[in-house]
Structure formats: C-alpha cells, structure tokens
Amino acid sequence: MYIGVDLVKIKRWEKIIEKYPERLKKIFTTEEIEHCEKKGRKKAESYAALWGAREAAGKALGIGLQGATWQDAYVTWTNLGAPVLHLKGEFKRRATQMGIKTMAMSISHEDNLSITVVVLGR
C-alpha cells in the first residue's frame, strides 16, 4: 500500500485564479474546470483540492511531479459526487511499474485548508 497526502492553502488558489486564470487550462481538464466554476464562491476550494490530488498522487507514486505533466492525474466524479482519481502518462506508467491495481482518494476542507489523501494498492 502506498499513501500520498497533500495540504493546500485555499487562499493561494484564490490569488492564482484572480491573477493567472489562463493557467487553469494548462493544469486542469475541461471537466475539472467546469466542476470548479459551478462552485461559485467556493471554486478556489475545489481548485485547491484538485491540485492536492495531483500532488498526493505523485507522492504516493514516489515521484512527486517529476517527469509528469499537470494533467497526468485528473479527477472525475460519480453520480453521487464522490471524486475518482485517474492516471495517465508518466503517472500511469509508474503505477503499472509498481503493480498498482486499486486507487482511493479522499478530499476534505476546513477554513483556509484543503487536504487530499491518495491510497494506492497492489
């Protein structure tokens, strides 16, 4: 079992959204952006969580973001709204090399913080 955790300041993402909105398309998928933008005032919270998912996935894989693109980990949602982690590119190659068969992710927010935990299993 491999675990990655990332803690993100939501206010940092408020600033990024305001100052560099064009960067969002380089980091997040179209579906992720649409999901976050629907959140209105809480969109920074959602962007922070999705960034945390990428960081936590990289940590669980033992490579951080080294050799990966920002979209090598991305999130979709079930009909009930639960986040589902997906890997591609360098992250998928590394997961295959490690024999990863299962992935689980949990996201939580409190005040100015978002935390994401990724658990990978063989």
- Identify which of 60, 43, 68 has the alpha carbon closest to the alpha carbon of residue 6: 60
Binding site, annotated residues:
6, 55
46 in Cβ contact with 35 (< 8 Å): yes
Annotated binding site for Mg(2+): 6, 55
Cα separation of 57 and 63, whole Å?
9
The DSSP bridge pattern shows strands 2-9 and 83-87 to be unpaired
